[in-house]
Amino acid sequence: MRKKFEKFIGDLDHRTGLHTGLRKFLYEEIPASSGWHQVFGSVALFLILVQFFTGAMLAFNYAPTPGDAYSSLRYILTEVTAGRLMRGLHHWGASMIIVVVVMHMVQVFLWGAYKKPREGTWMVGVVLLLLTLAYGLTGYLLPWDNRAYWGTVVTTQIGATVPIVGPYVSRLLASTGDIGVVTFARFYGLHVLLLPPATLLLIVLHVYLVRRHGVAPVPGDEVRRKKSFFPEQVFKDTVAVFFAFVILFVMAVAVRVPLERMADPTDTSYIPRPEWYFLFLFQMLKVFAGSLEVVGTVLLPTLAILALILTPFIDRSKVVRVRQRTLAAGIVLLAGLGWGGLTLAAIKSTPPQTAASQIDFSGPVQWMQLTPSEMTGINYFRQEHCGNCHNVEGDSPKSGPNLINTSLRHDPAWLTAHFKDPEKVTPGSTMTPVNLSDAGMKDLLALMLKLTPDNGDVVDTAPEFAVAGAVLFQKNNCGACHSVNGMGGKIGPALNGLSSRRNEAWVIEHFQNPKKMSPGTVMPPYKFSTTDMQNEVSYLFTLPAKPTP
């Protein structure tokens, strides 16, 4: 058996040279000094492959056009088994690649491995770093939620400010007017059709150059035993790859990547933020205001990229041990501090995300379709602990009957009588009487009659702030003048779509002083506590743009 296998390998090699090639690749001699500090390149390569794979998997269930992109991603997250994991791997993998690629670069820089004759390897590496950032930029738009849309609006407008080429960049990305279908198609095309083969080609070139010149030695290596790439270094690489994979997998499982509201170009309340690794650039824009803006958007980044590319020509000193490269270490430290400081400042200056913009639309959002009365019913449902004895979803047995489809079995009169004195209406019932005001009873009834198999989970999933906002809405009888989800008066404007008409500050001020904000209004001022105001505004901002039919 073994003889046969070896003959087969021999014959195959005779015809293809595969085996000899593999041996040459694996048994490459590497300097004695090589070791754990050189694992980052392999980890980056592994992560890129994971991105290629998970990206292809996501594409199997993804429609690359605005609108459909959002619903298909929502489908991946809510319907497809392991879809959330697949997206988590792709999302967190992107962030991890940035981290690992930068670590790889820092290592090469500290060790001075870019020096003669390895200038080309370094320069190809810098281009690969830029490609990695390009993936991040183009991939950001693809979920087509508010975050994607508004983030891309800002980046494309920065691109447009570049002197001379700006307008052409805009035309190339089809972002001169609004971000729309054409922009989306360009970003998608770049992300999945152009960037991957370009990356592959450059990786092959990069690895070829590494092999051509060998792993960079340090002084003293020439007198020590050379190591074999396989399995000595491959062992270290594999352990590092495994470590990275475990981190990635745990993040993909444990850290939920939210999906925001579908991209809404009219949403004036949205505060766009770039991905964390672009935050420092974002912060730098604030330093250079007005006519100097181009310094932050174009000049400094261009200089930084040029300095990176030209590093091997700027530093032409002889190779020395890493401990003696104090200047290099100082540069890395400064760059790290600068990056960290800017990023921290950006995070610090970020206004806290509003409750409304933090809702995860890949979770249950049925509650958004409820009227304020039904939402207030949820408040009483929770307050009276109805869920202790009654099911509204699932069918684990509980002492009371399931409340789904109550409207098919009972009318409001029966329910009211039953709530007030359960034993009288339903002999043998052990339910405690529900003590609510007439208005409260009405709200609870509204909820009871609304529950169907499709929306039963609302009693668990409606967020606390939205329920509190609805309670306040009912208490102040806002529905007398305003309609929400098709219910309420017509004296004031309907409140669906409020978030695309006004921002939060405006609404808060309007509550406090309506006459100032809309002269001639009949709305009286409302002095809510800070918490109440926050709940109320957040609740109103979660309402769907149009009432559900």
Partner 1 sequence: MIPENHRPQAAEGYSHTRRAFHLAVIYVLGAIIGLAMAIPTAIYLLIPPKPRKPSGFIDAGDVSQLTPGEPVELTFQQSRLDGWKLVTEKKTAWVVKELDNKVVAFGPQCTHLGCAYHWEASASKFACPCHGSDFSIEGKVLAGPAPRPLDRYLTKIENNRLQIGELKQSNPQA
- The residues of the shown chain that bind partner 1, judged by CB under 8 A, are 2, 5-6, 9, 19, 22-23, 26-27, 50, 53, 57, 60-61, 63, 68, 71-72, 74-75, 79-83, 85-86, 225-228, 231-232, 234-235, 238-239, 241-242, 245, 249
Residues in the chain: 549
Give 483's strand partners: 488
In the complex with partner 1, the residue whose CB is nearer, 254 or 413, is: 254
Least Å distance between CB 265 and partner 1? 22
CA atoms within 13 A on the CB side of 300: 14
In the complex with partner 1, the residue whose CB is nearer, 85 or 545, is: 85
CA atoms within 13 A on the CB side of 426: 16
Instruction: Let me know if 443 is exposed, middle or buried by CB neighbors in 10 A (0-12, 13-18, 19+).
Output: buried
- Amino acid residing at 38: Q
> What does the CA dihedral 144, 150, 156, 160 come to, rounded to 10 degrees?
150
In the complex with partner 1, the residue whose CB is nearer, 61 or 521, is: 61
Q: How far apart are CA 544 and CA 513, in angstroms?
A: 26
In the complex with partner 1, the residue whose CB is nearer, 2 or 15, is: 2
- Amino acid residing at 505: A
- Amino acid residing at 189: G
Least Å distance between CB 76 and partner 1? 8
- Phi/psi class of residue 184: alpha, beta or left (left: φ > 0; alpha: ψ in -120 to 50)? alpha
Angle (CA) 318 319 320, round 5°:
110
In the complex with partner 1, the residue whose CB is nearer, 253 or 307, is: 253
In the complex with partner 1, the residue whose CB is nearer, 72 or 499, is: 72
- Amino acid residing at 92: W
Residue 476: what are its φ and ψ, rounded to 5°? -90, 5
Least Å distance between CB 410 and partner 1? 24
Residue 367, token pair as written in the block: 């509650």
In the complex with partner 1, the residue whose CB is nearer, 25 or 313, is: 25
216 close to 111: Cβ distance less than 8 angstroms: yes
418 close to 426: Cβ distance less than 8 angstroms: yes
Q: How far apart are CA 380 and CA 324, in angstroms?
A: 71
In the complex with partner 1, the residue whose CB is nearer, 67 or 336, is: 67
384 close to 440: Cβ distance less than 8 angstroms: no
